Structure 1
Amino acid sequence: MENMDYNTPEEFLRQTRDIINIPNKYFIWIVWGILLLVTLGSSFYSIGPDEVGIIRRFGKYATTTSPGLHWKLPLNIDKLNKVKVTYIYKEEFGFRTMQPGVSTKYSHKGYLDESSMLTGDLNVLIVDWIVQYKIKDPVKLLFNIRDPRTTIRDISESVMRQVVGDYSVSEVLTTRRLEVDQSVQDKIQEILDSYESGIAILTVKLQDVNPPDQVKPSFNEVNEAKQEKEKMINQAWEQYNKLIPRAKGEAEKTIREAEGYALQRVNTAQGEADRFEATWNAYKTAKEVTRKRLYLETLSEVLPRASKIYILDPREKSILPLLQLEKKSE
């Protein structure tokens, strides 16, 4: 077939009709049918279950369509953008996942520039972290952000450097990791909201945080010394918690026993005083009776404790004969 040059659409249609040898009246209908099919084919579209469709009419936002089959105006009058609104996106910093799965493989080569950071106490750390996000407002995403992925990466790296610079190296390595995560997440979300980006940050999580390889042995020695210090402090507190409560308990027991003894002595003395006063009053009222009662009460207390009892005759001038008689009987 010879090469053909067409100067006008009419010339193209005429030569095409001559080649396929179709009568003129049928050829026109065939062309219109093809155009109609192409138009209808470009008008129908489907939205997946995790997506929404954003329709722009002459570049201006028109409507948002839900999952399913839909129709739009053809010939680029309506333009469609599909946005995944349930999918969770992830950005990795300081490393990349090369092969996900049970035995996931990572690569750290070539990413040192984005992971090297300076802490508040002027130490260098290699910080790896991830950012997970999703689209909460696809209209704002399409109209306000030119490159969402680049924007999120630039903001995340800037904020992470700022937050790490507010903490010491030991805090970022150990005690304040969760606090760093939350602070970075809040700051990233605040910046994205100020851009009206339509992006929701779900997670910011530190992964590996290590000192550079050149100073890692020194860091390990410092960490071991700190761990030993913490161990000794914890042991001291353990002894303190054992001995101090015991000593306090014994001191409290001694105080309570002394207070009880003092109360007992006071009550006893008070009772003795009251009894003596009552006896004195009775004696003043009836001296002979009181004297005899006291005598009998004293005997009732003394006699049970006596091992031998001697009854003397008032006419007897001496008790020696009685004692000698008892000795003979023995």
Structure 2
Amino acid sequence: MTLKHIYQATAGIIILLILVLVALTSWYTVDQSEQALVLTLGEVTEEIKDPGLHFKAPWPIQSVEVFSRETYSLVFGYGEVDGQPVVKMEEAKMLTGDENILLAGLVVQWRIGHMADYLFNAEDPQTMLYNATSAALRGVIGNSTIDSALTDGKAEIEQKVREQLTTLINSYEIGIEIVDVKLQNVDLPNDNVRKAFTEVTDAREQMNTKINEARKYENQKLNEAKGEAEAKLSRAEGVKTSRIETAKGDTANFNALYQSYKASPQITQERLILETMEQIMPGAQIYIMDDNGGTVKYLPIQPLQPNQAVQKGAEQR
């Protein structure tokens, strides 16, 4: 074989290898749970978030970095040994704002939000996330009381840790997005402290129970008093309405009487006198005398009894 043939064979092999390289590196696939970055000569030129088959320039002109869309979990303060959860004392031990020591752990759920930042802005983004988690959790626990951390303040601690951790991660610009923060079991470091705290907690619960019972009794008495007051007000309104209506009726009667008086003063005056006498002396018999003292008329206010009628007839004769 001549030298020319050797050169031709070598060139053919090189061309064949180039064609194979182009065929193998000019396409890529992105799964439903993935996203990708296209790098042209090492610089990000395209973000691919649509799943399926995609094409690009062959290597080394363009390359592809594929990232998962899944949510990851970072466990802080706890670990597993033989499938059993154990406390990592150096991580979990923290100092509260009232200078007490407790053990606290955290689970941070995160995902890759910005692929370019995650790829280029940090050598180890997950280590930075771990350090930021430690700083955020210790900072919040350091501003909380032990009672709050062990009882009803866990939700508030979770919220504050999430806010501080999100602020830190965003300032680092490492492409990580915080999805959720879950505070794990918060506990005391030894049995003696735990027993003492349990006794204090029980006493506090008893105190709260007594306070709730007292408030219940107070509310019951207040409701009874309010009901009684409303009943008295209702009765007073009824009396008020009755008296107003009575006053209106009296006013109407007075106006009618006044009109009668204006028409016949003398007759109205005598009638008023007789009606008044009838009211103040309903059982009396009234005689109207003339100027000489003689009886001119007998006016019984009450209906006459039979013997009174006989007597009246005799007197008239």
- Match 1:186 to one of 142, 155, 163: 163
CA gap of 1:314–1:166, structure 2 versus 1, over 3 A, is same
Question: How many angstroms apart in 1 are the aligned matches of 2:236 and 2:156?
Answer: 53
Contact 2:261/2:269 (CA < 8 Å) preserved in 1?
no
1:211 and 2:188 correspond:
yes
Question: How many angstroms apart in 1 are the aligned matches of 2:37 and 2:159?
Answer: 32
Matches within 5 A, 1:155-234: 155-214=132-191, 215-234=193-212
Report what 1:17 is aligned to: none
1:246 and 2:229 correspond:
no
Question: How many angstroms apart in 1 are the aligned matches of 2:28 and 2:100?
Answer: 55
Question: How many angstroms apart in 2 are the aligned matches of 1:276 and 1:158?
Answer: 91
CA gap of 1:281–1:218, structure 2 versus 1, over 3 A, is same
- Match 1:142 to one of 101, 104, 119: 119
C-alpha deviation, 1:272, in angstroms: 6.1
Report what 1:4 is aligned to: none
Letter in 2 for 1:242: Q
Question: How many angstroms apart in 2 are the aligned matches of 1:71 and 1:275?
Answer: 107
C-alpha deviation, 1:82, in angstroms: 1.5
Report what 1:311 is aligned to: 307
CA gap of 1:36–1:260, structure 2 versus 1, over 3 A, is closer
Question: How many angstroms apart in 2 are the aligned matches of 1:297 and 1:188?
Answer: 98
C-alpha deviation, 1:156, in angstroms: 0.7
Map Cα deviations across residues 140-160 of structure 1 (whole Å, 9 max, x no partner).
111112211111110011001
Give the match's secondary structure for 2:174: coil
Higher mean alpha-carbon deviation, 70-79 vs 176-185, is at 70-79
Matches within 5 A, 1:40-59: 40-59=23-42
Question: How many angstroms apart in 1 are the aligned matches of 2:276 and 2:55?
Answer: 127
- Match 1:151 to one of 125, 128, 139: 128
Question: How many angstroms apart in 1 are the aligned matches of 2:303 and 2:100?
Answer: 95
- Match 2:85 to one of 107, 115, 123: 107
1:89 and 2:85 correspond:
no
Give the match's secondary structure for 1:246: helix
Higher mean alpha-carbon deviation, 24-33 vs 195-204, is at 24-33
CA gap of 1:93–1:106, structure 2 versus 1, over 3 A, is farther
Map Cα deviations across residues 169-194 of structure 1 (whole Å, 9 max, x no partner).
12222222222112111211112212
Contact 1:95/1:106 (CA < 8 Å) preserved in 2?
no
Question: How many angstroms apart in 2 are the aligned matches of 1:291 and 1:30?
Answer: 144
Alignment gaps of 5+ in structure 1: 1-22, 100-104, 318-330
CA gap of 1:178–1:157, structure 2 versus 1, over 3 A, is same
Higher mean alpha-carbon deviation, 65-74 vs 122-131, is at 65-74
Question: How many angstroms apart in 2 are the aligned matches of 1:70 and 1:153?
Answer: 35
Report what 2:286 is aligned to: none
- Match 2:109 to one of 132, 147, 163: 132
Question: How many angstroms apart in 1 are the aligned matches of 2:188 and 2:99?
Answer: 12
Give the match's secondary structure for 1:54: strand
1:290 and 2:271 correspond:
yes
Provide the TM-score with structure 1 as the length reference: 0.72
- Match 2:64 to one of 55, 77, 80: 80
CA gap of 1:119–1:310, structure 2 versus 1, over 3 A, is farther
Alignment gaps of 5+ in structure 2: 284-301
Q: Percent identity?
A: 27
Higher mean alpha-carbon deviation, 287-296 vs 65-74, is at 287-296
Equivalent pairs counted in the alignment come to 286
Give the match's secondary structure for 2:185: strand
